[in-house]
């Protein structure tokens, strides 16, 4: 069997690259932090059996139309809103993601943001850096308590559950809202299932952990923000477009809510002129939820294993559209 041709859209850890190079002819967009230009991506996909992509690459009808050999797209992320999965399924292209391996790391970062926003850590560091710390004062940089408060988790998947587990250490009441109830999560953490409206009205910390879908786009809009407590903190480590940023700017400026910790943005990357950055009650991060060395390495290896399986006739472990695999097994035949 000829060696499969795969395209990798960014420099990835050696452990993952090594796996691919053993079995495939690999072409690479050899940059550390610059996404491959769209025209080059389309050109490279034209001759590829498989693609290793990041959430910065859009795989849509246009990309698939010019890629007749493509059988497999492996996304190095758990979220895959950058990929038109329905279009891939129609085109007979398997899609896989990297669930599980980033759960705990992303839950840690969610808590880091929550604590930083509640206790004004970034603002406090700026006060020192700018020489504005004059003396200990009674209400100087006073923030919100976390322990004993109410945490509301929107989206109780793997990461949501890991965030709920950590809340026990802070003696918190945990509420959650999800597409379906999770009795095992309730038993393990004492989390209580509530409607979205109840969660927004009752939580001191509202954490967003839903995937981006047509249903969750702007789930947190003006209406939702106005339902929150004026002392509440919003934390988003899921996808930026779940929050209407224009409404959030008003909510933070006008005191409908107290603060926000944001790792993700409606349109990434953002620059220093983004309207949310000027606000003292925002802690802003550049989409680093899963960015520990161990986890990013593991994500790259898992994506490489998915890709390798898909281009060598095995079922990729983390397929998101298994119907394509079933069709292939029933004799639908590979593309190309
Ligand atoms: C994901 O995996 O979806 C994150 O956003 C990046 O870790």
What is the per-residue pLDDT for 285? 98
Q: Residue of the nearest CA to atom 2 in ligand 1? A: 77
Percent of the chain with pLDDT over 90: 97
Query: What is the tens place of the pLDDT at every residue in 143-177?
Result: 999 999 999 999 999 999 999 999 999 999 999 99
What is the per-residue pLDDT for 334? 58
What is the per-residue pLDDT for 329? 87
- Sheet of strand 25-28: strand arrangement: 25-28, 5-8, 50-53, 72-75, 94-96
pLDDT band at 184 (very low <50, low <70, confident <90, very high): very high
pTM score, two decimals? 0.97
Average pLDDT, the chain: 97
Fold match between 5-100+293-329 and 103-284?
A: yes
Q: Residue of the nearest CA to atom 6 in ligand 1? A: 77
Tell me which residues have their CB closer than 6 angstroms to ligand 1. 77-79, 102, 289-290
On the 0-12 / 13-18 / 19+ scale of CB atoms within 10 A, 3 is middle
Ligand 1: atom nearest CA of 106 is: 7
Between CA 158 and CA 144 the distance in angstroms is 27
Helices and strands, number each (H, E), in the chain = 13, 12
For residues 273-309, one letter each, b for 16 or more C-beta atoms within 10 angstroms of the residue's C-beta and e for the rest, the string is ebebeebebbbbbebebbbbeebbbbbbbbbbbbbbb
Query: What is the tens place of the pLDDT at every residue in 297-327?
Result: 999 999 999 999 999 999 999 999 999 999 9
What is the per-residue pLDDT for 333? 60
Query: What is the tens place of the pLDDT at every residue in 214-257?
Result: 999 999 999 999 999 999 999 999 999 999 999 999 999 999 99
Ligand 1: atom nearest CA of 287 is: 5
State yes or no: pLDDT of 293 exceeds 60: yes
CA of 80 to the centre of ligand 1 (A): 8
State yes or no: pLDDT of 335 exceeds 90: no
CA of 104 to the centre of ligand 1 (A): 12
pLDDT band at 291 (very low <50, low <70, confident <90, very high): very high
Is the CATH number of domain 5-100+293-329 1.10.10.10?
no
Pocket test of ligand 1: the residue of 76, 79, 212, 294 to mutate, having most ligand atoms within 8 Å of its CB, is: 79
Average pLDDT over residues 35-62: 98
Percent of the chain with pLDDT over 70: 99
Average pLDDT over residues 265-282: 97
Residue ranges covered by each domain of the chain: 5-100+293-329, 103-284
Query: What is the tens place of the pLDDT at every residue in 76-127?
Result: 999 999 999 999 999 999 999 999 999 999 999 999 999 999 999 999 999 9
State yes or no: pLDDT of 270 exceeds 60: yes
CB 238 within 8 A of CB 155: yes
pLDDT band at 193 (very low <50, low <70, confident <90, very high): very high
What is the per-residue pLDDT for 331? 81
Topology, domain 103-284: Rossmann fold (3.40.50)
């Amino acid at each position: 069997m000829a060696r499969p041709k795969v395209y990798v859209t960014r420099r990835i850890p050696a452990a993952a690259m090594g796996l691919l190079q053993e079995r495939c002819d690999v072409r690479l967009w050899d940059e550390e932090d610059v996404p491959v230009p769209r025209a080059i991506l389309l050109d490279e996909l034209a001759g590829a059996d498989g693609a290793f992509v990041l959430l910065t690459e859009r795989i849509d009808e246009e990309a698939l139309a010019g890629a007749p050999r493509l059988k497999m797209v492996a996304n190095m992320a758990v979220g895959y809103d950058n990929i038109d999965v329905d279009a891939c399924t129609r085109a007979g292209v398997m899609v896989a993601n990297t669930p599980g391996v980033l759960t705990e790391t992303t839950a840690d970062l969610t808590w880091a943001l929550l604590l930083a926003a509640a206790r004004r850590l970034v603002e406090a560091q700026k006060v020192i850096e700018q020489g504005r710390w004059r003396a200990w004062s009674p209400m100087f940089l006073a923030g919100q308590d976390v322990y004993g408060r109410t945490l509301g988790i929107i989206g109780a998947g793997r990461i949501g559950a890991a965030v709920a587990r950590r809340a026990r250490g802070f003696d918190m009441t945990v509420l959650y809202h999800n597409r379906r109830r999770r009795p095992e999560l309730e038993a393990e953490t004492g989390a209580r299932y509530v409607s979205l409206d109840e969660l927004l009205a009752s939580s001191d910390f509202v954490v967003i952990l839903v995937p981006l879908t047509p249903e969750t786009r702007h789930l947190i809009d003006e209406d939702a923000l106005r339902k929150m407590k004026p002392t509440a903190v919003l934390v988003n480590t899921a996808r930026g477009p779940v929050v209407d940023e224009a409404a959030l700017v008003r909510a933070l400026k006008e005191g409908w809510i107290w603060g926000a910790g944001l790792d993700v943005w409606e349109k990434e990357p953002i620059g220093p002129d983004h309207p949310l950055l000027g606000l003292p009650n925002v802690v802003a991060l550049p989409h680093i939820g899963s960015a520990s060395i161990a986890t990013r390495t593991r994500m790259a290896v898992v994506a490489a294993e998915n890709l390798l399986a898909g281009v060598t006739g095995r079922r990729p472990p983390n397929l998101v559209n298994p119907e394509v695999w079933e069709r292939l097994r029933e004799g639908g035949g590979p593309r190309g």
